[in-house]
Structure 1
Amino acid sequence: MLRLDDVTKEFRIGAFGGKSVTAVREVSFEVAPGEVVSLIGESGSGKSTIGRMILGLNPVTRGSITFDGRPVRADKEYYRHIQGIFQDPFSSFNPVFKADRVYNMIKETYYPAVSEPEWEERVEAALRDVRLNPGQVLGKYPHQLSGGQLQRLLIARALLLDIKLLVADEITSMLDASTRIDVLNLLAELRTRGLGVLYITHDLSLGTYLAERTMVLRRGSIVEMGLTGSVFGDPLHPYTRELLSAVPRLNQAWDDATPVDSCVYHERGATGALIEAEPGHFVACARLDTCP
């Protein structure tokens, strides 16, 4: 369904754009229908940049992104099948309009021939699918709703389209713990309907809870990738081990992080390419900056 091949993103910087910084470096992966893939990394690692390129909000510098075999095109037909939900749900709504205005925009753009009664039935069905009471949210302004309600409104918006892939970028980071689980359970339920999800997060526990496959991003490059149980149960890259050791544990002191400089793949002369260390489990050299 979704495929990235050696995707690189460079941004021009400086007063006259004479310099550049590489935010994403030669990233390749796929997301299949009905699959949840988590993209995990610290702030500034390039996670959101990848999401924005998939959504057509930032152009790719090098490499390619294809959806169902076709290059990404930021047009009406593309957004019928791919939607994104971001960290701050309040920024997705105009505060002077009622929250359900986003549904009217979808009708005007994609379904102008649908009658008003039929459209109202579709909207109410989509809201019930995301466990919202239409009578409690329709006709409300964004400030009258909680962050969890707004995130569910956005998911319902995606369901009104013929969506195949959802890019979920830190969608639970502004929610309280109980609401986070509700939203994650909702995504897991939608997966059973064939919806693919790219779940972007810096929270390892949430990524473990939801995803079948996990990719760990460091400085714009994927350093480890595989089944979630393998990546977290038997982490091979020192950066992945460092992330896991930084997860707080009750009544237990933090362990010292494994130095990132130590890397058997670097000593073997490996390049920045991922190596299949075991079936379906890929790992990169830990010293990408000094690899030939």
Structure 2
Amino acid sequence: MKPLNRMEPITPSQRSEVLISGKRITKVFGYGKQRTAALDEVDFAFREGEIVSIVGESGSGKTTLAKIMMGLLKESSGEIQYRGIPRQLGNHRQRKQYWKDIQAIFQDPFSSFNQFYRVEKLLLDCLKLQGLQLSRDMQFERMKEACTFVNLKFEELYNKYPFELSGGQMQRLMIARIFLLQPKLLIADEPTSMVDACSRSTILDMLLKLRDENRMTIVFITHDVGLAYYVSDTLYIMEKGRVVESGPAERVILEPAHPYTRQLIEDVPKIHEEWNLG
């Protein structure tokens, strides 16, 4: 496999402590004969400023793991630590504090916003979540700044509802929210799978710029091995609810140890072969 033109990864000296980690995370759905283990004793550790990709086919458990990291699903067993302390999500105050630091963007931007709220309220809620006491003029300046960062004009979005925007505008609006929230951890679940190649590159550039400016940890959830190799410092390969291989992206892709990893990599060139026919 020909190496891609990958982004320059951060060096170990640029990383600090482990931001979030999980030990033997298991998630079981159903009971008795209907019992299914979506996650089976998964371990992970993501450092501040690191870009990680969790790679696997549909049903591998990667999205379930993302929802557990977000606190949207509760693990059946195991322990998640945030900044070295067991995570506490028992009440609304604890969850609100956690979600100030940990945010997500998803594959379908239209499912990420309340379609009955105008764009300015969606952005204003981000400022309120941070607990910032800003004048109305300052609020508008911050919202304009966020829209400018993602190449949108706030004046053109003002007073509009999400359903009045294009898919590309909605994807950018999701990133504008992240710009305002400035989380410590961003979980990006297939964020570019519904856009064209040009928009995909733009979205990735925006996310990587946020990482560089805010030392934000980004976790990509993806089935795209090429994308994962291109953007990531570290890869986790998942199959049937288990992490079968993990390590530096360069090593995992160029020297895969597990048969499933090798199969994922072997499937990538076949696409290029088809394009080169004739």
Per the alignment, do residues 186 and 112 of structure 1 end up closer, same or farther by CA in structure 2, a change over 3 Å counting? closer
**Out of 27, 30, 37, which is 1:12 matched to?**
30
Q: Is the 8 A contact 2:127 2:180 kept in 1?
A: no
Structure with higher Rg: it is 1
1:165 counterpart residue number: 185
Higher relative CO (CA 8 A, sep ≥ 6), structure 1 or 2?
A: 2
The runs of 5 or more residues in structure 2 that have no matched partner are 1-18, 90-94
**Over residues 12-63 of structure 1, what are the superposed CA-to-partner deviations in whole Å (9 max), with x where a residue is unaligned?**
25xxx77421001111111111111000000011011000001100001111
Distance 1:175 1:252 in 2: 21
Distance 2:66 2:135 in 1: 34
SS in 2 for 1:250: helix
Q: Is the 8 A contact 1:93 1:99 kept in 2?
A: no
Q: Is the 8 A contact 2:100 2:129 kept in 1?
A: no
Higher helix share: 2
1:272 counterpart residue number: none
Letter in 2 for 1:11: F
Q: 4+ residue stretches of structure 1 with deviation over 4 A?
A: none
Q: Is the 8 A contact 2:127 2:181 kept in 1?
A: no
How far residue 112 of structure 1 moved from its aligned partner, in angstroms, is 6.3
How far residue 162 of structure 1 moved from its aligned partner, in angstroms, is 4.2
**Out of 125, 130, 134, which is 1:105 matched to?**
125
1:242 counterpart residue number: 263
**Residue 151 (str. 1) matches residue 171 (str. 2):** yes
The runs of 5 or more residues in structure 1 that have no matched partner are 254-292
How far residue 168 of structure 1 moved from its aligned partner, in angstroms, is 0.5
2:57 counterpart residue number: 42
Distance 1:100 1:205 in 2: 36
2:20 counterpart residue number: 2
TM-score by length of 1: 0.80
SS in 1 for 2:271: coil
1:199 counterpart residue number: 220
**Residue 77 (str. 1) matches residue 92 (str. 2):** no
SS in 2 for 1:66: strand
How far residue 252 of structure 1 moved from its aligned partner, in angstroms, is 5.8
Q: Is the 8 A contact 1:56 1:72 kept in 2?
A: no
